[in-house]
Structure 1
Amino acid sequence: MSREERGDQPLAISAGDPGEQGQNLAEMTANQIAATRNEWNSASFPLEQFQAYTSPFGYRRSIDGYNFNEFHYGLDLAAPRGSYIRNWWTGTVVEVSDDSNCGTSVVVEAGEWLSIYCHMEGYVEVANGERYMIDREGGLRITEGSVVEAGERVGRIGMTGRTTGPHLHWGLKYNNNWVDPALVLRAMYSSQASAAN
């Protein structure tokens, strides 16, 4: 189901005043997130060459240098330009886009979760009734409606959209509410570390 069919606003909001969306932000603790999935061991960290967390979920100073705060609807993870982004959880590609602050992006729906990957290399094309994100240099073609497995490559780090450097802006929604991806990563780490022992 497309964004338009669901009646959603653009999924890949990375800046601006949260307004009504901000009033509905999920206030989820790590324990509540852990309870939403019993099988975190199947989840994948979204980067192959992670370097650092560069901007957390929540209010921050405008990246354009203006003297006001804006709400950041995701977690920014730095990595070398061109390095691969992996899908967090097995699901269906519900949107590919290249015309917003998010730049070239892929949105994957997995049950109640939406995972939004922004600022990637490549662009969107439409051919034979199919809409897809194409990154020829990276050997990737991600088609709307296709299923992508956890850990499968869905893009490469780029500098498209509103960005100040190469990174992945990773946004997460649960039951149509924005969630702090750092809480999910903590829950994943705890679950996977327990399973390894």
Structure 2
Amino acid sequence: MNAGETDPQQPVSQVSPNEIAASEWYGASFPVEDFQAYTSPFGYRSSPEGGYSTEFHYGLDMAAPEGSYIRNWWSGKVIEVSDDSNCGTSVVVESGAWMHIYCHMRGHVEKDSKGRYMIDREGGIQIWEGQDLPAGARIGRVGMTGRTTGPHLHWGLKFNENWVDPALVLRAMYIGQQAASRSAEESAQN
């Protein structure tokens, strides 16, 4: 099972992003350029393929024009690149206790004597398993690989192996970054 997939029998255990100190969010980056809208939230939803079935959606879908760049949310190490699941072409980054999963990207996975890497030649992106990435680095582009009905980034987050609602993290990031900016402005005025 790839990191972007889940066991339907696995319980959904969540962590509140408010448990992280506000100052910690200052170094984080919004994960997609040319963002248009949130198209599918974290949690139970109707199957995007129609019918009456419901499924648990382990991430947040962020619509953007196809080819828009995806940015690494937090500095960390690439632990997996894949292109053979519902997640499509994907990159998984580990940042301490956090794991962030980026799905439906353009490109594909290749392997050579140095290891596995995700490549999007047209976008100028090559990401290696084991590579260290800074926050905000371009790591891919929005595509339509895997199980998708339109161009978007599926962004999944885990903290200590527990799924976290990315929308709550974005809200906590915004509040934390605003507080840090105000604090910096006040310090500069004194």
For normalisation by structure 1, the TM-score amounts to 0.89
Inter-partner Cα distance in structure 2 for 1:75 and 1:10: 18
Are 2:125 and 1:137 aligned? Answer: no
| Number of residue pairs matched by the alignment | 182
1:70 corresponding residue in structure 2: 55
How far does residue 31 in structure 1 lie from its aligned partner after superposition?
Answer: 2.1
Q: Deviations over 1:122-156 (max 9, x none)?
A: 00000113100000000000000000100000000
Q: Which runs of 5+ in 2 are unaligned?
A: 183-190
Q: Which runs of 5+ in 1 are unaligned?
A: 1-8
Larger Rg: 2
Inter-partner Cα distance in structure 1 for 2:172 and 2:128: 30
Inter-partner Cα distance in structure 2 for 1:81 and 1:143: 23
1:4 corresponding residue in structure 2: none
2:13 corresponding residue in structure 1: 25
1:12 corresponding residue in structure 2: 4
CA RMSD in angstroms comes to: 1.4
* 1:176 counterpart (132, 142, 161): 161
Inter-partner Cα distance in structure 2 for 1:131 and 1:142: 9
Q: Deviations over 1:32-79 (max 9, x none)?
A: 2x34x7421100000111000000000000011121110000000000
Inter-partner Cα distance in structure 2 for 1:62 and 1:107: 24
For normalisation by structure 2, the TM-score amounts to 0.92
Q: Would you say the 8 A contact 2:23–2:177 is kept in 1? A: no
2:100 corresponding residue in structure 1: 115
Q: Which runs of 4+ in 1 moved over 4 A?
A: none
1:187 corresponding residue in structure 2: 172
* 1:54 counterpart (24, 39, 44): 39
How far does residue 179 in structure 1 lie from its aligned partner after superposition?
Answer: 0.7
